[in-house]
């Protein structure tokens, strides 16, 4: 019975958040087992850990360092949401996000990027100024 109790206790200690925490690399980023850290996966892990009220370690620093690797509008918007969820948002990333605004109301090139942009604006709570050419 002693081993069964220990196994049950171990199972209770294993949570999705603790699994995510175990996948954080020394560089602060997150990666699938056997892979290198990526900004996108790091942003998702930051959101999940923040939602679980768990620390994100050096994930913010990793994400800021790797912002240049963000390719699409939705990549930028996801990173904005993740950084802002930690209570911080790098100014260069905020500038990239702001520059996604289009005169016709789109944020980025698509409906999807516009939807993500609306979510990012809600997260950061900053007024959005539309660029008018």
Cα R_g (the chain), whole angstroms: 18
Give the residue-averaged pLDDT of 22-36.
96
DSSP 3-state helix, strand, coil percentages of the chain (rounded to 5)? Answer: 60, 5, 40
Of 57, 93, 58, the closest CA to residue 75 belongs to 93
87: pLDDT strictly greater than 80: yes
Residue where the block lists tokens 């913010």: 60
pLDDT per residue as tens digits for the range 54-69: 999 999 999 999 999 9
pLDDT class of 99 with cuts at 50, 70, 90: very high
Other beta carbons within 10 angstroms of residue 122's beta carbon come to: 10
pLDDT class of 85 with cuts at 50, 70, 90: very high
Instruction: Please name the helix (run of DSSP H) or strand (run of DSSP E) that holds residue 115, with its range, or none.
Output: helix 111-124
Q: What is the dihedral of CA 119, 121, 122, 126, to 10 degrees?
A: 170
pLDDT class of 130 with cuts at 50, 70, 90: low
What is the C-alpha separation between 101 and 129, in angstroms, rounded? 8
Of 14, 41, 16, the closest CA to residue 27 belongs to 41
What is the value of pTM for the model shown?
0.84
Of 106, 27, 101, the closest CA to residue 69 belongs to 27
86: pLDDT strictly greater than 80: yes
pLDDT class of 92 with cuts at 50, 70, 90: very high
């Amino acid at each position: 019975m002693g081993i069964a109790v220990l196994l049950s206790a171990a199972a209770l200690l294993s949570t999705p958040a603790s699994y995510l925490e175990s996948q954080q690399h020394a560089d602060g980023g997150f990666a699938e087992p056997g892979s290198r850290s990526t900004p996108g996966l790091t942003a998702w892990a930051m959101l999940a850990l923040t939602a679980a009220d768990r620390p994100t370690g050096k994930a913010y620093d990793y994400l800021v360092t790797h912002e240049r690797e963000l390719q699409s509008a939705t990549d930028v918007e996801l990173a904005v949401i993740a950084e802002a969820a930690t209570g911080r948002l790098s100014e260069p990333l905020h500038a990239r996000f702001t520059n996604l605004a289009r005169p016709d109301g789109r944020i980025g090139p698509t409906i999807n990027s516009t939807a993500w942009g609306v979510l990012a604006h809600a997260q950061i709570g900053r007024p959005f100024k539309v660029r008018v050419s």
